[in-house]
Structure 1
Amino acid sequence: MPPSNPLPPKENALFKRILRCYEHKQYKNGLKFAKQILSNPKFAEHGETLAMKGLTLNCLGRKDEAYDYVRRGLRNDLKSPVCWHVYGLLQRSDKKYDEAIKCYRNALKWEKENIQILRDLSLLQIQMRDLEGYKDTRYQLFMLRPTQRASWIGFAMSYHLLGDYEMANSILDAFRTHQMKGPYDYEHSELLLYQNMVLAESGQYERALQHLQKFESQILDKLSVKETSGEYYLKLNRFKEAEGIYEDLLKRNPENVLYYSKLIEAKQLIKAEDKVAFFDEYKKQYPKAIAPRRLQLTEAQAQSSFENLVDEYLRHGLYKGIPPLFVDLRSLYADPMKAETIEKLIIQYIDNLAKDCTFGPDPSEVKQPASALLWAYYFAAQHFDHKKDTDRALHYIDAAIEHTPTLIELFIVKGRIYKHAGDPISAYQCLEEAQAMDTADRYVNCKCARYMLRAGHIKRAEEMCAKFTREGVPATENLNEMQCMWFQTEAAASYQRLQQWGEALKKAHEVDRHFSEIMEDQFDFHSYCMRKMTLRSYVGLLRLEDVLRAHPFYFRCARVAVRVYLRLHARPRSDAPQTAEPDTENLAPSELKKLRNKQRKAQRKAEQESALAAQVQVKREQHHKARQQQEQGDPEAPQLDELIPEKLARVEDPLEQALKFLQPLRILAADRIETHLMAFEIYFRKEKPLLMLQCIKRAWRLDSDNPELVDCLVRFQRWLEESLSGLHPNVAAVLKTETQPMVLGRSALQIAEQSVSGAARHAAALWAARALRRLVPDRTEQALRLVTSLDYPDVTIQSCADVLESLREGDFGECEAVIERYVEACSARFPYAIAFKPAPAPEASENHSEETTPLQPKEITANN
């Protein structure tokens, strides 16, 4: 379609040069040519030229001017596909994909067969997962360019993603038959494997197997052919053929655990004795392979058989000095018999190695190297730590350190023992000592930083990470650029424990932005993967992106954010009060001198922090400027708002902000009860009865005995008892009907009393006691007796810390004497846990940095 407002030949030539300059990123030259056209009074308001000038300005970072020019151009020429296309590109650069799609559709109204607009539209549709729209657009591209490979592949993939496997296979068959000619290369091989994947996903395994056998000579990935064939044979119950396939694969890689499990399935071995005999055969066939020896330990059930096998395995591991030997065997500890057998053997090894340097009691055995005793100590320390026997674990790790004081792994394990015992301070000190032994080991460096974060030493952790980040840029900035989410999630949790709400939210938002960036980064792969024919990987990428926020990193940061926002809703941050001037007239000279010294120190510290902040800001600006110059012309990099902790901590709508973090989890982490419990807490505060009911029902289906869910049910039932009369009759009827299977006609008090009488676990006792005290304040003493008892079988450091925090938060009223007795009892039960030790005196921490802040109970037992 010709332009609605055509230019004369001279100006048209200039306009084409603007387009070429844009394509070649020669933006300043493009602006010169645009100026030459627009300086002519006849064409000063030429819509397409104004639009292209705006697009060029956008590439130079002048976004506001860009929007002004593009909108002016659009107003002057509403029927121009170029103006609408440019406006769509501008919206796309700001990640406003829905708006960009509307612009592209408007452009296509005036030029239905524009290939470039159709391609851009298809990319946005697959990005937004508008699969029906994507199918229609790919069909149009297919009809316009039937000879192009991308047209066929995109058209077939649109049907595959919609689940129409037969149509997708027909298109691929037609393309392969009519378009693909020899010689066959890697891309042809990938196309065949993709077609086979489509057949398999349709459930036609027999047909998929025949397809694989027919084109086996044309497929270059021979390993994939074998593995896929084996899978199909198993699904078709053709066990003999599958057996032959997996035996060949084991010859290729005898350490592949999956091959052994598939071969057992092919041989139809069910009894434990048969599986043990099976692994015996492969131990002889592959004497150097570790996999059959380790898998045999899992299958062995008889104690005598297991003892002989694990004895051989342990002796080999200790002789070789394999550090992850305990981690390798840890899964066996689910069986008490196996755990006891391993303990008996390791104690026997230690005794015999210390006496005669042999594993067995016979002194005539082959002498073992001195390192065997060291690794036996190392294993024993981890074994007893796993059993929560801290004293024996420390005894053995100290013996190992005395034996070889220069081995880094020993200090790492000692730190882990202290961490599990509830002493994160000693834990990070052990890791710091390990890191000092090898400052170039990045793993130990990261491990030490993580332990520092769990101990509340955030600044030290940043300094530790700075040893491996880029010079000239603050460590936190560099870690954020590298999307180092393990550090940010740990830092968010640490700030939360220290009640620095703004900093915790900043880290949570940074992690959230990383996931948004990962979602946006897939945009570049839509055309790349079809061009390179990596179709199976591309489909895998799309499916991964669909469930991206189910990742544990996002769940952890969302949990921190939701809890902090709930805390800010309950107790909004107020402006910091002005510190009153101290009364210096009535102070003794010595006290006055101390006060002046403290004031001078505080002033110097404030000046240093201010100077450091200024330096950091300058470096940050220089770094961003350098990046902008390096990426000049990239319209896909909009500037994000800076995350300011103070501003985040004083948000006006904390519940709405919490919901933003929670919404992806309600879809992608719906199988975790914690998701629905957090959602209930938000909707309870927003007084949304139907949404509260939805959360409780979903949680009830997952675990009806969850103690926190019982507390939610009590609160919901009490809210209904108080508010049911004020609700719409239809809503009230739904609530009564749907809660009946859970409530069973009981009142909130009856549910609480039943949960109190049935509390057999420590966590259940805490939630039941809270509910009872909330409903009947007069029964506070009964609730306190219930919650402070340590007679439950599942008492842990974390459960005791939760109780202590609840007592200190005032959930049971003023009870200082009870808290004191409870802390003493917990300290006797868990002597290493610092949560139950008195906070350091102010004098002791005067000359230290912020990292000496006493730890909160919640920081005790974070897992690896």
Structure 2
Amino acid sequence: MPSSDPLPPKEGALFRKLLKCYEMKQYKNGLKLAKQILSNPKYAEHGETLAMKGLTLNGLGRREEAYKYVRLGLRRDLRSHVCWHVYGLLQRSDKKYDEAIKCYRNALKWEKDNLQILKDLSLLQIQMRDREGYKETRHHLFTLRPSQHASWIGFAMSYHLLGDYEMANNILDTFSQSQKSIEAHDYRHSELLLYQNQILIESSHLQQALDHLLKYESQIVDKLAVRETIGDLYIKLGQQEKAVPIFEALIRRNPENVLYYEQYMAARRVTNSGAIVSVYREFQEQYPRALCPRRLPLDIAVGEEFREVADEYLRRGLRKGIPPLFVNVRTLHQVPEKAAIIEALTLQYFENLTRSGHFSRADADAEVPLEPASALVWTALFLAQHYDYMRDTDRALEYINAAIDHTPTLIELLITKGRIFKHAGDPVEAYVWLEEAQSMDTADRYINSKCAKYMLRANMVLEAEEICAKFTREGVSAMDNLNEMQCMWFQTECALAFQRMGRWGEALKKCHEVDRHFAEIIEDQFDFHTYCMRKMTLRAYVGLLRLEDVLRRHPFYFKAAKCAIEVYIRLYDKPLASETTIEEIDIENLPPSELKKLRSKQRKAKKKAELESAQAAQAQVKREQHQKSKQQANQETDPDAPQLDELIPEKLERTDEPLEKAIDFLKPLQELAKERIETHLLAFEVYYRKNKLLLMLQSIRRARALDATHPVLHSCIIRFMKALESARQEQPFNVHVQQVLDKATKELIGKKTPQQLNDEFIAKHHTTSILHLYEAARGLYELDASKKAAAIKLITDFNLSKLRLEEATKIYTALRDGDVFGDCEKEADDYKLKCQERFQYARIFRNIEELEAQLQEKEAAKLRAEEEQQQLNHLDSNETAASLGGLASVAAAS
């Protein structure tokens, strides 16, 4: 590379060796060479050498020294493209991509045609989705190196990503025509043709895409993709008769592909449900072992036809003992008529199997062979799952207990019983059954993971970690290893468990860990920008870019972000008191009942703190050892990776800006999960506490656009109107802001007052929806705190028979915690007693004394069982000894 401050031949040779050492990752040798150049007094302040020394130090992990030397070199030679390029590389290694792009642009001012800088700049531009900048850079590279394949492909892709399909297609056409010789089975050329075809399809030039495929079909290696695309194009172009044989062949190739059947029906133009079912029956005869042609008619058929098809499908599944049979038909329960038919059929099966060993009386009368004995168990399991889905816990338990009595060693039965208790509101009993299932097959990862998940739902984090430790790396704590493996289901469940327990710092730590995983996944795409261009996996590469653009829409991120936002809002509403504040409570003036509660709370807190400190000390030792080995490994594999700050729960939960931290999690949701109303309701809660009226209004309008009847939206409008009124009293608004707010008020409530709006809302939902009524009660209390009793009565008098468990739990926790209506302990206790009768299995509504008595009874039963087993073992050993003695006497006599 030409330099603005050239070195003489000897030092120049050393500098070239230094560059080669850096490329070969021989950093120590590179440092020696830099020292040789800088030891010469004439070149002690040579900017490019200083910059390269800094870059080499960065490779050794000495980041602070690296920045010092690179900045020093840049100050010595501001016109050097090498110094700016090196500074950009340093910023890139710290993931400061915006800064790195600025550095590369400065480098190009002094060396505008430098290929390496242009390539590095294009990588950062596509990483940051600067599509216009990427197009300009790829055009520059194309003009400099028009003979290289990558120049053409990158240039075409830049237009494709901008949506200029015609230009992208023209570039690829010109490139294809310039190719002189194409080898047989050339995979790279094949992928290029399929990528070009994808561009034609996305540009809606369907006939051109079809002609292109037919023309180059012989040169494309991926024959399956060709047949699928041609068949799809024939359907879209209205040439269905040509698509029929294509999808017949594809179904013959893979009779379990659902999409092929859908496309085949579209090609045959079959719309009548009876005709579709008859077509599926033809496929059942052709492919008797395939599942798809038996399952798909259930979605289409209705009435007696559905009964007939369902009867065949269920009998086959129960006869063969297919564990996920209910899961396969669960979606059909969303149609009440189909759910009723399935229930009637399976009840008939259970009755006839119990009586005669056949599925129906007709089979018994016809003297067909008996069904396998296991069919009764699988039918009972299916019925238990069915009634559990319908939330009829008593009947579900009746059938699952019958199945367990019949075959107590079938693991699926124990898992289902645990699931029934989970849905009934008893996570502890649920985990007990899952633990028993796990003990029957300790090598099964699925059951192991399910057991851990149920433990977390029961707030048993340490026990869940112990269960997971069976499948994690030895010598490392299970929690750290699961974090390394990006096991996000475990971390989100941990975060929710810590949130329920009020351990806010631990919950936030898990949420931040999940956030870091997504950031790491986004960073990992950097490696594919050059790889995919080189290997010509262009369709997969475009798919990757589009996936990364919406990555934080994933349910794992949404769960973690929602949990983090709720915790930060809670920490803003009720900041954690320091230990000195707790000690300063005036104990002498407290009433005896409150003093007793305080003493009990302090004792529990002390025990908990002692236990946690002991566990934390052990964990810290392991963590330090693990961190040390991890850092050493990172130095060897990726020395450029920036070191992330350690997540310390105590610091996280005592942040000075909880709402700002909440907004960090909220922004990706507003951008990528805007179709979920929870996003905008969470945004309202944050902006309400920041008193940002326009942002509150924006959140309400977005939520209304998604679901204007959502219950929480009503209380948001009431609180917005109240905040607006108080803000008007404090100071007048800007004219433009006033216009926006007036228009919004008219749109939201018209000419009504908030009180009138709330009264109408109560009248409308008085007997229909508890969730709407609860939000109306919140509004009533918000508008007039003196109406607290009326607001509470409004929700506690609602008909409990219409309530679901989740709704009753929400009402009770709101009354118990006092966050919504203030202190209402008596009303919470009364409501709890009411709910005990309605939800008899729900642990949240049961008394602590009852639970302790139940636990003692279980422990006593367990001890009795162990004693009986010991007695049986003792008797067996005595009988064995007696028989051995008899044998000895017979032998002696003989």
Q: Could you tell which deviates more after superposition, 91-100 or 734-743?
A: 734-743
Are 1:265 and 2:269 counterparts? no
Cα displacement (A) at 1:402: 1.3
Are 1:781 and 2:789 counterparts? yes
State the match for 2:518 in structure 1: 515
Q: Distance in 1 between matches of 2:379 and 2:616?
A: 53
* Alignment deviations for residues 384-411 of structure 1 (CA, whole Å, 9 cap, x no partner): 1011111111111111111111111111
Q: Could you tell which deviates more after superposition, 153-162 or 569-578?
A: 569-578
Q: Distance in 2 between matches of 1:599 and 1:497?
A: 16
State the match for 1:420 in structure 2: 423
* Alignment deviations for residues 571-618 of structure 1 (CA, whole Å, 9 cap, x no partner): 1112124769999xxxxxxxxxx9xx9999889847743541342233
Q: Distance in 1 between matches of 2:180 and 2:153?
A: 12
Secondary structure at 1:33's aligned position in 2? helix
Match of 1:741 among 721, 731, 747: 747
The change in CA–CA distance for 1:580 and 1:567 in structure 2 (over 3 A counts) is: closer
Q: Could you tell which deviates more after superposition, 274-283 or 437-446?
A: 274-283
Q: Distance in 1 between matches of 2:614 and 2:806?
A: 38
* Alignment deviations for residues 343-393 of structure 1 (CA, whole Å, 9 cap, x no partner): 111111112222222111243221111111111111111011011111111
Are 1:732 and 2:741 counterparts? no
Q: Distance in 1 between matches of 2:609 and 2:482?
A: 30
Q: Distance in 1 between matches of 2:608 and 2:266?
A: 70
Q: Distance in 1 between matches of 2:278 and 2:158?
A: 49
The change in CA–CA distance for 1:118 and 1:793 in structure 2 (over 3 A counts) is: farther
Residue pair 2:449, 2:468 contacting (<8 A) in 1 also: yes
Residue pair 2:800, 2:838 contacting (<8 A) in 1 also: no
State the match for 1:755 in structure 2: 761
Match of 1:545 among 520, 525, 548: 548
Cα displacement (A) at 1:282: 1.8
Are 1:465 and 2:468 counterparts? yes
State the match for 1:826 in structure 2: 835
State the match for 1:331 in structure 2: 331
Structure 1 counterpart of 2:317, which letter?
G
Are 1:678 and 2:649 counterparts? no
State the match for 2:694 in structure 1: 690
State the match for 2:667 in structure 1: 663
Q: Distance in 2 between matches of 1:462 and 1:317?
A: 36
Q: Distance in 1 between matches of 2:649 and 2:171?
A: 54
State the match for 2:372 in structure 1: 369
Are 1:624 and 2:630 counterparts? yes
State the match for 1:190 in structure 2: 191
The change in CA–CA distance for 1:41 and 1:844 in structure 2 (over 3 A counts) is: farther
Q: Could you tell which deviates more after superposition, 246-255 or 426-435?
A: 246-255
Are 1:644 and 2:648 counterparts? yes
Q: Distance in 2 between matches of 1:731 and 1:259?
A: 56
Q: Distance in 1 between matches of 2:154 and 2:291?
A: 45
Secondary structure at 2:579's aligned position in 1? coil
State the match for 2:42 in structure 1: 42
Structure 1 counterpart of 2:133, which letter?
G
State the match for 1:294 in structure 2: 295
Structure 1 counterpart of 2:527, which letter?
D
Residue pair 1:717, 1:747 contacting (<8 A) in 2 also: no
Q: Distance in 1 between matches of 2:850 and 2:510?
A: 31
State the match for 2:564 in structure 1: 561
Q: Distance in 2 between matches of 1:605 and 1:207?
A: 71
* Alignment deviations for residues 548-582 of structure 1 (CA, whole Å, 9 cap, x no partner): 11111111111001111111111111212476999
Cα displacement (A) at 1:846: 14
State the match for 1:219 in structure 2: 220
Secondary structure at 2:506's aligned position in 1? helix
State the match for 1:151 in structure 2: 151
State the match for 1:854 in structure 2: none
Residue pair 2:134, 2:158 contacting (<8 A) in 1 also: yes
Are 1:80 and 2:89 counterparts? no
Q: Distance in 1 between matches of 2:307 and 2:852?
A: 57
Q: Distance in 1 between matches of 2:394 and 2:842?
A: 13
Within-5 A mapping of 1:135-146: 135-146=135-146
State the match for 1:589 in structure 2: none
Q: Distance in 2 between matches of 1:102 and 1:580?
A: 54
Cα displacement (A) at 1:779: 2.4
Residue pair 1:473, 1:623 contacting (<8 A) in 2 also: no
Residue pair 1:761, 1:793 contacting (<8 A) in 2 also: no
Structure 2 counterpart of 1:268, which letter?
R
Secondary structure at 2:129's aligned position in 1? coil
Structure 2 counterpart of 1:625, which letter?
Q
State the match for 1:591 in structure 2: none
Match of 2:576 among 560, 573, 578: 573
Q: Could you tell which deviates more after superposition, 487-496 or 359-368?
A: 359-368
Are 1:634 and 2:639 counterparts? yes
Q: Which has the higher contact order (CA 8 A, sep 6+)?
A: 1
Q: Distance in 2 between matches of 1:438 and 1:792?
A: 41
Q: Distance in 1 between matches of 2:852 and 2:262?
A: 62
Structure 2 counterpart of 1:26, which letter?
Q
Structure 2 counterpart of 1:423, which letter?
D
Residue pair 2:680, 2:699 contacting (<8 A) in 1 also: yes
Within-5 A mapping of 1:423-502: 423-502=426-505
Residue pair 1:91, 1:97 contacting (<8 A) in 2 also: yes
Structure 1 counterpart of 2:692, which letter?
K
Secondary structure at 2:463's aligned position in 1? helix
The change in CA–CA distance for 1:33 and 1:397 in structure 2 (over 3 A counts) is: same
Residue pair 2:565, 2:666 contacting (<8 A) in 1 also: yes
Cα displacement (A) at 1:794: 4.9
* Alignment deviations for residues 743-802 of structure 1 (CA, whole Å, 9 cap, x no partner): 111111112111111122111111111110121223223222221134277511111111
Cα displacement (A) at 1:258: 0.9
* Alignment deviations for residues 471-493 of structure 1 (CA, whole Å, 9 cap, x no partner): 11111111111111101111111
Cα displacement (A) at 1:521: 0.5
The change in CA–CA distance for 1:511 and 1:23 in structure 2 (over 3 A counts) is: same
State the match for 1:248 in structure 2: 249
Residue pair 1:718, 1:747 contacting (<8 A) in 2 also: no
Q: Distance in 1 between matches of 2:666 and 2:92?
A: 26
| Alignment gaps of 5+ in structure 1 | 584-593, 848-864
The change in CA–CA distance for 1:66 and 1:794 in structure 2 (over 3 A counts) is: farther
* Alignment deviations for residues 685-721 of structure 1 (CA, whole Å, 9 cap, x no partner): 1111111111111111111111100100011112222
Q: Distance in 1 between matches of 2:849 and 2:29?
A: 67
Residue pair 2:477, 2:623 contacting (<8 A) in 1 also: no
Structure 2 counterpart of 1:628, which letter?
N
Residue pair 2:477, 2:619 contacting (<8 A) in 1 also: no
Q: Distance in 1 between matches of 2:617 and 2:690?
A: 44
Cα displacement (A) at 1:658: 0.5
* Alignment deviations for residues 309-338 of structure 1 (CA, whole Å, 9 cap, x no partner): 211111110111100000001111122222
Q: Distance in 2 between matches of 1:73 and 1:438?
A: 64
State the match for 1:305 in structure 2: 305
Q: Distance in 2 between matches of 1:296 and 1:56?
A: 66
Q: Could you tell which deviates more after superposition, 694-703 or 616-625?
A: 616-625
Q: Distance in 1 between matches of 2:814 and 2:614?
A: 38
State the match for 1:384 in structure 2: 387
State the match for 1:201 in structure 2: 202
Tell me how large the CA RMSD over aligned residues is: 2.3
The change in CA–CA distance for 1:26 and 1:369 in structure 2 (over 3 A counts) is: same
The change in CA–CA distance for 1:502 and 1:240 in structure 2 (over 3 A counts) is: same
Q: Distance in 2 between matches of 1:231 and 1:570?
A: 56
Are 1:795 and 2:803 counterparts? yes
Residue pair 2:61, 2:635 contacting (<8 A) in 1 also: no
Q: Distance in 2 between matches of 1:601 and 1:335?
A: 52
TM-score using structure 1 length: 0.93
Q: Distance in 2 between matches of 1:711 and 1:527?
A: 52
Q: Distance in 2 between matches of 1:611 and 1:128?
A: 42
Residue pair 1:264, 1:275 contacting (<8 A) in 2 also: yes
- Aligned-residue sequence identity (percent) comes to 57
Residue pair 1:472, 1:619 contacting (<8 A) in 2 also: no
Q: Distance in 1 between matches of 2:747 and 2:204?
A: 39
